[in-house]
Amino acid sequence: MAEPMDYASAGVDIDLEGAAVASLIASLSASSRPAGTPGAPVDLPGGFGGLIEFGDSLLALATDGVGSKLQIASLLKQWGGVGIDCMAMNVNDLLCVGAEPIAFVDYVAVPKPDPEIHAALGASLAEACRLARVTLAGGETASLPGIVTELDLSGTALGYVKKGNAITGEHLESGDVLIGLPSSGVHSNGYSLVRRVMEHAGHQYTDNAPFNVASVGRSVMHFEGNDDSQFTLGEVFLNPTRIYCDPIVDLLKHAETTESEFALSDIRAICHVTGGGLSNLLRLHGSLGWHIGSPLAPHPEFEWLQEVGGVETREMYRTFNMGTGMILAVSKQHAETICAWLNERMIGTQVIGHVHDQGHKVTHAIEGVEFSHY
C-alpha cells in the first residue's frame, strides 16, 4: 500500500517554514522606529497583519501572494480569479487586527511580458478591488528571465484602525465562543498537495469533477465560455479565495453604533484560516486553548482529495481550511446575536466551538485532529 500523502512530501514543510520565519523575525527585531513616532511598531500577537502608529490611528500592513495555485492558472490559461486570490490573502489578514483595508499594490514577476495575460490580471485585480472596497494605488511588473520561469503574483494591502479599536486577542477568556465563516473552496493554500494528488490520480484539470460541487455557503465560478452544467476540476480548484471585508468590516462598524446589541469589545479575536489550517488559532493567544466541537462541513473537494490521495485526516486539517475560511472569537453573552447578524450576510456561518483554559492547543470533534503548535 502506498504511503499516505502529506504536505511535506509534496514539497512544503510547514515546520521548516515556521522555523525559517522565526529566524527572520529574530534578525529583524532591532529594525524599528522609536515608540510614539509615526511608524513605530505596535506589539501584536498572531502576526496576521502588522500594526504601526500613525497619529490618532494605527496603520495595518500585510503582504502575501497567490502561491502555486498560479501553476494551475497558467496551465489552463485562466487568470480570472488570481487577482481576487492575491487581494484576499492580504486583506483577510488585515481584518484579523480589526483594520479596514483601504489600498493595495501588486507585484507581478514574469519571465516575459504578455499583454493578453496582463490584461486578464488587471481585470481580476479590478474586481478584487471592488469586492474588498479598496483603491489600487500602484504596482510593479518585473521581467526576470533566468530568475522566474513562470508568472508570480503578490501584493501588499494597507488598512487603518482607530487607536484603541485594534483587535489583539488581549481580552480573550475561557468560555468565549468561536464562530466559523465558510470558505469558497481551497482558497490559496495547500496547492502543492493538490497538484500532487491530481498527478497521482491521473486526472486532468479539464476533467469534470467526479463529485457534486454544491456546498452550503459557497458557489463555484464557471470559466468564461463554459456553459456546461457540470464543473471541471480546474474550475473547482481555481475558485477564487473568499474576501471577507463584507461582512467583517461592516460587523466592526455596526458594533460601534448605538443600534448594536453588542460592542466592539465583544469581538475578541479574528483568525484567518490559511497555511497551517486550524493551527492558526494558536497564534491568537499564548496560553488559551480552542475546541472545535461543531465544525462546518468540509467542501466536497476536500473529501475527494483525502480519499484519492490517501491523506490522513489530521494532515488535511493542518494543510487546508476544510471549509472554514475565517473564525471569530466572541463573548459568550452576545455570540448568538453576532452569529445571526453574520449569517444574514453570509449563509453557512455558525457557532463551531469555544475557547478554554485547559491547555494551549486546538482540539476537534474528530479524534486525532489536535495541534499544540503553529
Same domain, 125 and 261: no
* Burial degree of 71 (CB within 10 A; 0-12, 13-18, 19+): middle
The CA distance from 57 to 51, in Å, is: 10
| Within a domain: 187 | yes
DSSP notation for 116-152: HHHHHHHHHHHHHHHHHT-EEEEEEEEE-BTTBSS-E
Same domain, 268 and 158: no
CATH of the domain at 49: 3.30.1330.10
**Tens-place pLDDT, residues 115-128:** 999 999 999 999 99
Q: Which of 134, 162, 190 represents a domain boundary (last residue)?
A: 162
CATH of the domain at 185: 3.90.650.10
Same domain, 131 and 182: no
| Within a domain: 191 | yes
Same domain, 227 and 84: no
| Within a domain: 6 | no
The average pLDDT across 187-208 equals 96
Same domain, 286 and 327: yes
pLDDT at 29: 64
pLDDT at 24: 63
Task: Provide the whole-model pTM.
Answer: 0.93
Q: Which of 133, 162, 191 represents a domain boundary (last residue)?
A: 162
| Within a domain: 116 | yes
Q: How many domains does the chain fold into?
A: 2
Same domain, 202 and 146: no
| Helical segments of the chain, H only | 14-28, 69-76, 82-95, 115-132, 191-201, 233-237, 245-255, 300-309, 313-319, 335-345
Same domain, 71 and 193: no
| Within a domain: 27 | no
The average pLDDT across 77-93 equals 98
Helix H or strand E encompassing 361: none
In the structure, what pLDDT confidence band is assigned to residue 30 with cuts at 50, 70 and 90? low
Quickly tell me which residue has 452550503 as its cell. 216
pLDDT at 274: 96
| Within a domain: 152 | yes
Half-sphere exposure of 16 (CA within 13 A, CB side): 6
The CA distance from 114 to 158, in Å, is: 28
Same domain, 145 and 262: no
The CA distance from 190 to 367, in Å, is: 22
In the structure, what pLDDT confidence band is assigned to residue 106 with cuts at 50, 70 and 90? very high
Least confident of 32-46, 203-217, 260-274: 32-46
Domain that holds residue 195: 177-371
pLDDT at 1: 41
Which carries the bigger pLDDT value, residue 31 or residue 124? 124
The average pLDDT across 172-190 equals 98
The overall average pLDDT reported for the chain is: 93
The CA distance from 5 to 308, in Å, is: 10
- Cα R_g (the chain), whole angstroms: 20
pLDDT at 83: 98
pLDDT at 354: 98
| Within a domain: 3 | no
Report the SS3 class of residue 279.
helix
DSSP notation for 66-98: -TTHHHHHHHHT--TTHHHHHHHHHHHHHHTTT
**Tens-place pLDDT, residues 244-259:** 999 999 999 999 999 9
The average pLDDT across 151-174 equals 96
Same domain, 255 and 366: yes
Same domain, 283 and 222: yes
Same domain, 107 and 209: no
| Within a domain: 158 | yes
Same domain, 182 and 133: no
Q: Which of 162, 191, 214 represents a domain boundary (last residue)?
A: 162
The CA distance from 324 to 273, in Å, is: 7
